[in-house]
Amino acid sequence: MGAARLKKKKPATRLAGKSREVELKLELDSDGMSLLLGHPVFAQARPLAERGGSLHAVYYDTDEFALRRAGLSVRVRRQNGHYTQTIKAERKHRSLALDRSEWECAVDGELDVAAAADTPLAPFVSGTSASEKVHPVFTVDTDRKAYEVERNGTTMELALDRVKVVAGHRSVRFCEVELELKKGDASALFAVARDLSEAAPLRLTPVTKSERGYALLDGIAAKPVSADEIDLPPKTSCAESFQIIARSCLSQVVRNEALLRRHQDPEILHQMRVGLRRLNAANSLFKSMLSSRESRAVKADLRWAGKQLGAVRDLDVFLGELRKSTLSAPNDVWLEEAERRRSEAYEVLLKTLEKPRFTAAILHTAAWIESGKWLTRKKCAIRVARRLTVEELAGLELSRHWKRIRKSAKRIAELDFDERHRLRMRIKKLRYGAEFFASSFADGPAKKRRRSLLAILRRLQDLLGDMNDIVVGEALVLTRGQQKPARAERRLKKLHSDAEAACGKLLEAEPFWLSRE
């Protein structure tokens, strides 16, 4: 790309103030573009020739990617002979519809430092030596068709993009649909996305063009996406708290789904499944305001999606156990059979992820989080539940789960397989709840008790999970006519003993959400 000169003396020809960009991105295969153009949405849309065409963008950063770490993206884009400099800043809580602050101005073709005054970029280019560190890092070329769409009083720009990102010697091509809110309610973006998904398989994606460029620069294998840290001040309303938590959970699902399509990595599948389980836990914790028919339909969709991942995850775990020789001393026949069944299961799963039902489930869930009827229902109990603070809800819900867990922990030695499984699920919900609400109990003593309790819960969950994996693995072995491994029985006995000890510590633990008054 070569070095770029940063202009400092001449101000931008037009400096726009801070604005807000609300945008929904959906990825699709190249064949899906022509299918989409036949959808009735386009028959009613107004073409925006001046917004389309060939776009060439140069993205800037430092050698250490300081802008990226600060949540900024900086580009200069050429379109129809004109150059526009755009600075975008991620908001603290990221939505499924990208919601970013944006500073935009016309420039002469190069990054204009003077135009960065009063923007988050200013500290990075405030001096000569600092500004020289900011340079081009990758390019994005886009062939765009743009339209204006009206839907129930909401105006949005719909763009069909064929994109090529180039970073050094690496490049990637993809197609995506962008729906950008111009006026009105963001929920209309999801309604149009769901309509378009009827014509072509669309996948909700929170991955921006700039993120794809940075992924090429990193040049490392794709990493599973773990849960984000949740920040909930104690007085945050339950309605807002649920949205913040649910967005985080669904984002974890969507980001890992995109990775899973390219890399059949067991840990990626696991993290996608964790995202679904966290979202189910959030639905349970906030159930007092999520009792509508629409909410029940979303929960059913999420349970269905989780089941599609479960069988493959069981085979991943079983194969891992075979390779580590923890179930029995494996032989080549067993490994070959397990690997064949796993490969077939992944093939079925990937086909399921392409089905309209899965796409619709994700889009429906995203729309429900952002603008579901649960936000406006007038039933008194639901209005009260929405206004309740997260601190108040946490105390009630965590205590409810804690009571049931303690009851089962007292008789751990007597629990059968199904009862142990239910205990493990309750522990997971309590764990996720403790993680969701952690920032609401951030004072010293509560923080110390939370860490101690979480360590015990993780230990017990791992032990119960290992016991479950052994039983599931034995079932898989027995279905193939093999003898029940003796080593598995010995290990199961040891895990029973360790679980009893962990339950003893759990019964002595202090709930961090209760005061010591």
Q: Which DSSP state fits 50?
A: G
Taking 80 as the threshold, does the pLDDT of residue 360 lie above it? yes
> Is the residue at 349 inside a domain?
yes
**How many CB atoms are closer than 10 A to CB 31?**
10
Give per-residue pLDDT as tens, 2-11.
Answer: 444 455 444 4
> Is the residue at 233 inside a domain?
no
> Is the residue at 516 inside a domain?
no
Which whole-number Å values give the CA distances from 257 to 195, 213, 271, in the listed order? 21, 19, 9
Q: Are residues 141 and 70 in the same domain?
A: yes
Q: Would you state the pLDDT for residue 92?
A: 59
For residue 85, what is the enclosing H or E element?
strand 82-90
What percent of the chain clears pLDDT 70, i.e. is strictly above it?
Answer: 87
Q: Would you state the pLDDT for residue 23?
A: 85
> Token pair of 280, please?
């189910």
DSSP 3-state assignment of 75? Answer: strand
Q: Which DSSP state fits 279?
A: H
CB 250 within 8 A of CB 170: no
Q: Phi and psi of 81, rounded to 5°?
A: 80, 0
Q: Would you state the pLDDT for residue 13?
A: 40
CB 449 within 8 A of CB 434: no
Domain count, the chain: 2
More reliable by pLDDT, 441 or 480:
441
Q: What is the 3-state secondary structure (H, E, C) of 364-429?
A: HHHHHHHHCHHHCCCCHHHHHHHHCEHHHHHHHHHHHHHHHHHHHHCCHHHCCHHHHHHHHHHHHH
Q: Phi and psi of 488, rounded to 5°?
A: -65, -40
DSSP 3-state assignment of 151? Answer: strand
Predicted confidence band of residue 382 (pLDDT cuts 50, 70, 90): very high
Taking 70 as the threshold, does the pLDDT of residue 136 lie above it? yes
Q: Are strands 170-183 and 82-90 parallel, antiparallel or unpaired?
A: unpaired
CA separation for the pair 470, 318 (Å, rounded): 8
Q: Are residues 344 and 434 in the same domain?
A: yes
CATH number of the domain encompassing residue 95? 2.40.320.10
CA separation for the pair 14, 16 (Å, rounded): 6
DSSP letters spanning 100-149: EEEEEEEESSS-BSGGGTTSTTGGGSSSHHHHHH-EEEEEEEEEEEEEEE
Taking 80 as the threshold, does the pLDDT of residue 289 lie above it? yes
- Mean pLDDT highest for which of 162-176, 318-332, 475-489? 162-176
More reliable by pLDDT, 92 or 31:
31
Q: Are residues 265 and 339 in the same domain?
A: yes
Find the length of the chain: 517
User: Hunting for tokens 């599931």 — which residue is that?
Assistant: 472
Q: Would you state the pLDDT for residue 210?
A: 92
Residue-wise over 255-282: b if at least 16 C-beta within 10 A, else e?
A: bbbbbbeeebbbebbbbbbbbbbbbbbb
> Is the residue at 2 inside a domain?
no
> Is the residue at 1 inside a domain?
no
Q: Would you state the pLDDT for residue 132?
A: 66
Q: Given CA atoms 498, 502, 503, 505 in this order, what sign does their dihedral have?
A: positive
Where would I find the H helices in 286-355?
293-323, 332-354
Instruction: Pick the closest to residue 96 from 244, 283, 287, 309 (CA basis).
Output: 244
CA separation for the pair 289, 373 (Å, rounded): 10
Domain of 447 in residue numbering reads as 243-508
Give per-residue pLDDT as tens, 117-134.
Answer: 889 999 998 876 666 689
Q: Pick the range with the lowest mean pLDDT from 79-88, 234-243, 384-393, 434-443.
A: 434-443
Instruction: Pick the closest to residue 138 from 59, 220, 54 (CA basis).
Output: 59
Amino acid code (one letter) for 346 = Y
CA count, 13 A, side-chain hemisphere, 290: 25
Q: Pick the range with the lowest mean pLDDT from 392-396, 476-480, 496-500.
A: 476-480
Q: Are residues 363 and 463 in the same domain?
A: yes
Q: Are residues 265 and 331 in the same domain?
A: yes
Q: Are residues 286 and 408 in the same domain?
A: yes
> Token pair of 446, please?
């509560």
Q: Pick the range with the lowest mean pLDDT from 165-179, 261-275, 484-498.
A: 484-498
Residues in Cβ contact with 270 at an 8 Å cutoff, skipping those fewer than 6 apart: 224, 313, 316
Mean pLDDT of the chain: 86
Question: What is the rounded radius of gyration, in angstroms, for the C-alpha atoms of the chain?
Answer: 26
Q: Are residues 314 and 442 in the same domain?
A: yes
Q: Are residues 275 and 394 in the same domain?
A: yes
CA count, 13 A, side-chain hemisphere, 159: 24
**Euclidean distance between the first and the last CA atom of the chain, given in angstroms as a whole number:** 64
CB 214 within 8 A of CB 75: no
Predicted confidence band of residue 162 (pLDDT cuts 50, 70, 90): very high
**How many CB atoms are closer than 10 A to CB 387?**
12
Q: Pick the range with the lowest mean pLDDT from 3-7, 40-44, 289-293.
A: 3-7
CA count, 13 A, side-chain hemisphere, 517: 3
- Mean pLDDT highest for which of 73-87, 300-314, 439-453? 73-87
User: Hunting for tokens 């999420």 — which residue is that?
Assistant: 302
> Is the residue at 237 inside a domain?
no
Predicted confidence band of residue 485 (pLDDT cuts 50, 70, 90): low
Which whole-number Å values give the CA distances from 466 to 194, 317, 495, 499, in the listed order? 40, 10, 8, 10
What percent of the chain clears pLDDT 90, i.e. is strictly above it?
Answer: 49
Q: Are residues 256 and 198 in the same domain?
A: no
Q: Would you state the pLDDT for residue 197?
A: 85
CA separation for the pair 502, 514 (Å, rounded): 22
Amino acid code (one letter) for 347 = E
Give per-residue pLDDT as tens, 315-358.
Answer: 888 777 777 654 455 566 777 887 888 888 899 999 998 888 88
Q: Phi and psi of 118, rounded to 5°?
A: 65, 25
Q: Are residues 43 and 175 in the same domain?
A: yes
CATH number of the domain encompassing residue 388? 1.40.20.10
Q: Would you state the pLDDT for residue 283?
A: 95
Q: Would you state the pLDDT for residue 9?
A: 42
Q: Are residues 421 and 462 in the same domain?
A: yes
Mean pLDDT for the stretch of residues 143-152? 94
Q: Are residues 296 and 411 in the same domain?
A: yes
Predicted confidence band of residue 483 (pLDDT cuts 50, 70, 90): very low
CA separation for the pair 306, 349 (Å, rounded): 11
DSSP tally for the chain: helices H, then strands E: 16, 11
> Is the residue at 341 inside a domain?
yes
CB 12 within 8 A of CB 107: yes
Q: Would you state the pLDDT for residue 15?
A: 43
> Is the residue at 172 inside a domain?
yes
Q: Would you state the pLDDT for residue 365?
A: 92
Q: Pick the range with the lowest mean pLDDT from 96-100, 155-159, 202-206, 336-340.
A: 96-100
Predicted confidence band of residue 248 (pLDDT cuts 50, 70, 90): very high
